[in-house]
Structure 1
């Protein structure tokens, strides 16, 4: 079976019935609302859904779109609008990272080059196997998963636009079939270099060739680029501003278009960092934002390697979700470098061709680069982060206690948040839906009536252990039930969101010239105004996973579920950093308390 054999066999993401979505929206938002807020929301939903109301008109248009033979899914327009339509910066705000597990590099005089070569060889091997469609199709619990996102791993770059961004990628009308590029772009001290990793005959360079190439490149890039000439800083700008700067770059000199072509068509980026991270938190922070002059945040995949060989990946999110990247990372971190080189057909060809990627800049562009660098440095400094390791137990222990690991940690978050802040707030969790054709994720809202009862009972001094356990298990059961609803495409938020976008695109023609009142209700705003934004990455090949703060008061929680421990990376705006640290303290206590509670029975 080839990599993409299952794609035509997978069913499309189901489009929920409008009445089901409206009912679920009320159910999901109610635990977060006062009686009056819920009454106001319920009235607006009834108005929205009535036979002559705006909901049926918008939904009928979505049904027509979904039934069109050219449509893969009713979400075909939603995903570009959601990801490519965002106008703020994607660096730190949208891109995510993984910190790889350690690789023994003792005895090597240059662990950075050794680790980088290993990662390059393994990644090129993955590309060779993907081109030949020999990457095994993913399957979970016997269910085939869509592999469509794998087409965006190589030679894929997000291109800034004034209103909405676009994606430059292979397997497209502009670039049919796999990526044909033979080069990567390596960043070193803010300098960019084009380096061939595949020879003229299509065979990858050997490990020794790559090592010689990187060592030569390091010497060439030894002098750090000035802040005003490190063009990677521009990719941290708000998207419309970056689009305008990109146009000015191209207009300034024809060679700048050539430089952009080199970066945008590169298979992937490798960023060599000259620091040794003091600890996991320092490594995570650098993977998330680092020296923005040494990054190209629009690139789909950037492998980042520190001076001591510590390594990770920064991912542009518009076409790639965590589950796809996890499978990719699992593959490149499994096996020896020699095995990857042999499997790819690598042969000795001499030192790869290496050329600096330079831009012709005038005073205005240099000032713009410097301003972007300084602005992003302030933005990164205004984000507080923390790592939390629960290393006394992990997934295996939670399963022994007959509990869903995800439900366990999510309820731990709810209890810790209530104890840290005194209330229960809206919580988002990403649920993968790759069992559908071109499936991505669904938005789960964690807070249920069972969660409210659970956090109340846990802090009720009169409640007996049996009562607390019963509340805990009831909340966990409801959590698993809702997660399964999301996996089945039966969730309200993205459906209502797409109807809102349809109204904005062509509401007047559909008889809905004004935004429906539903989208101004306490329910719509409160359910989506996250206090916790969560996402998990279950893999033993990574140590930490992370993303930036998602709002002015939200704590981002990226968590890795491991057999013997849990690793969490937390992020929040610095003005509310103290609350994040309090939450982390309460979470550690809650996790141990919940484990003990289950272990008592």
Structure 2
């Protein structure tokens, strides 16, 4: 079974596995991501940071809806990720063949199907199997404060974002209005097991709360304004993972949480997607909100009409109130059993391990295995998630960190330390690293065995066949009783500008020093080039290049629909040919039920070759047009630079004459007020902290990129 086929076959069953699970989503499924504070301290007030993050989130939503969001692409050669030529080349290709253009430079688009459920989505509790709900028309934001629900529109009917100062005013009103807890906080119901919550939700609908629930489910996302300030990482983890329960709607696709001191994080429901989409969203929203804040501290919001912000009031009968109290007690008891400890290793990191030619993830996994062996005296079933976004609708594949090699290494470090030299221990670590890299590669390429067996098991059940003995074997049961669950996030976390360029400081300084010597030479060369292209022959050359570029674009525009049509014809023809070829014991030309002629068989290779030639021609034309436009742009910059220098020189000469003419009346101007940047660069590193809960022992569901 091919890797791609396996991924396609398991998509629906994988959703079903999540949606059919009856355990509460909180603690069992919902992960969280916490953001570092804004590097500018004044921007960390609750209202200011909430407003900036909301505005940046809506910008991300609009970019996604209007298809302006940069695609997720894996670059074998990272230099192409910053290549303007590559971006322009891919942009001009038709959608049907753009993948082939990316393949030419070893750039592989990743699946982004999860993004469509990032906004305006909720998980709806149903008996035995939940449903995923998405309403792309929703324009309102759900805000929670002290267990109260508020909604107000953040987008107008044509998609424009509400002015940031108005959003700020709405949030200030909510903070002032929700000054106490409700007697029966409805949010506790989302912490219940799914069948219980489904039954109570039906009671809510019958009691006349359908409109309110619709507004919650269709909201762009949920903003939780908490009335607490975490004092350390442990309190922060508890806050983002579950909070007090009354100020979270755990069924929303994601909830943006802002505490009283401006600490921010995201808690997201796991069935619709993994960490790929959420981490991309968090990174870009953090970057945009800190570099381009929508509001500044101490800004005065406009006068607000409270009628624009609606507070949702629910009708609760005695049965619903009893269910809320029961859910509250159960939630409290569960949280008391939960222990969270944060640990940050500082002795060395990724850069050191890479220099030692070791995989950072492999070393981390080996450290976990050694720790578990020291704690339990044996190896334990372990799990690491690996993203399979390279495949259509790909979710995750399992990496099994536990192996014979990690067992030998763990035993050597824990029980046989004196029997092995440092060189021998180092060799064991190297072997573990190499093997783990192999497991990573196999999982990323869809060659892991866990999802393959998952799909085969589903096929057996769906056909009504007896369960294969493999899945009943005690070894298989033990393998899937996960005790140690991990997720390794390889995507770069949000960082400040200073962190992105600090490694280039020596190069920049060196260039600045050497540029002082070569600037006159460069200016002279540019002047010669500018003069050449400003002459009559130069103008003709430029016009010729421009005509070639225009002609290339025109021909490419004519070829584009023909290429698309040829691909469609070849696709249809290949399906017919394959269908008839698979008919047993019939010569190809004698198939009684054939739907094609002999001419189709003969012409198929010719049409394939013709389509290939057209694609190559199209790519060549686009390449010529983009290259010429790049050259013309550089020529234009050189000519404009010369003209600018000449204008500056003339203005300076005029100023000199004016000074001598007005020398008698010349007065010294008052010094101008020095202007400082409003957003100073901060060199503090930013990072994100991620915690995945893995209380479900039979099937661990943790996101991974």
Counterpart-to-counterpart distance in 1, 2:467 and 2:242: 37
Task: Give the CA RMSD over aligned residues.
Answer: 2.5
Among candidates 208, 223, 226, match of residue 165 of structure 2 = 208
1:78: Cα distance to partner?
1.9
Q: Describe how 1:191-590 pairs up with structure 2 within 5 A.
A: 191-226=148-183, 228=184, 230-253=185-208, 256-336=209-289, 339=292, 351=304, 353-459=308-414, 460=416, 461-507=418-464, 512=465, 514-538=466-490, 539-541=492-494, 542-551=687-696
Counterpart-to-counterpart distance in 1, 2:39 and 2:182: 31
Q: Is the CA contact (8 Å cut-off) linking 1:519 and 1:525 kept in structure 2?
A: yes
Question: 2:612 — aligned with what?
Answer: none
Q: Is the CA contact (8 Å cut-off) linking 2:33 and 2:690 kept in structure 1?
A: yes
Higher-helix-fraction structure: 2
1:501: Cα distance to partner?
2.5
Q: Is the CA contact (8 Å cut-off) linking 1:125 and 1:340 kept in structure 2?
A: no
TM-score, scaled relative to structure 1: 0.75
In the alignment, structure 1 residue 101 sits paired with structure 2 residue 36? yes
Q: Is the CA contact (8 Å cut-off) linking 2:140 and 2:151 kept in structure 1?
A: yes
1:359: Cα distance to partner?
1.0
For residues 529-582 of structure 1, give each alpha carbon's deviation from its aligned partner in whole angstroms, at most 9, with x where no partner exists: 11201112344334311122424799999999xxxxxxxxxxxxxxxxxxxxxx
1:194: Cα distance to partner?
0.5
**Count of aligned residue pairs for this structure pair:** 472
Counterpart-to-counterpart distance in 1, 2:274 and 2:108: 18
Counterpart-to-counterpart distance in 2, 1:269 and 1:558: 20
Counterpart-to-counterpart distance in 2, 1:111 and 1:201: 31
Counterpart-to-counterpart distance in 1, 2:447 and 2:292: 44
1:480: Cα distance to partner?
0.8
| Higher Rg | 2
TM-score, scaled relative to structure 2: 0.64
Q: Is the CA contact (8 Å cut-off) linking 2:381 and 2:402 kept in structure 1?
A: yes
Q: Is the CA contact (8 Å cut-off) linking 1:13 and 1:439 kept in structure 2?
A: no
1:336: Cα distance to partner?
4.1
SS in 1 for 2:367: helix
1:130: Cα distance to partner?
0.6
Higher relative contact order (CA 8 A, sep 6+): 1
Question: 2:49 — aligned with what?
Answer: 115
CA gap 1:557/1:492 in 2 versus in 1, 3 angstroms = closer
For residues 439-485 of structure 1, give each alpha carbon's deviation from its aligned partner in whole angstroms, at most 9, with x where no partner exists: 11111211111111211222321111111111111111111101111
Counterpart-to-counterpart distance in 1, 2:696 and 2:125: 22
5+ residue gaps in structure 2? 76-106, 296-300, 495-686
5+ residue gaps in structure 1? 1-11, 17-71, 171-178, 343-347, 561-601
For residues 343-371 of structure 1, give each alpha carbon's deviation from its aligned partner in whole angstroms, at most 9, with x where no partner exists: xxxxx997482101121001110110111
Counterpart-to-counterpart distance in 1, 2:40 and 2:319: 44
Counterpart-to-counterpart distance in 2, 1:550 and 1:391: 28
1:140: Cα distance to partner?
2.1
SS in 2 for 1:333: helix
1:488: Cα distance to partner?
1.2
Question: 1:596 — aligned with what?
Answer: none
Q: Is the CA contact (8 Å cut-off) linking 1:545 and 1:559 kept in structure 2?
A: no
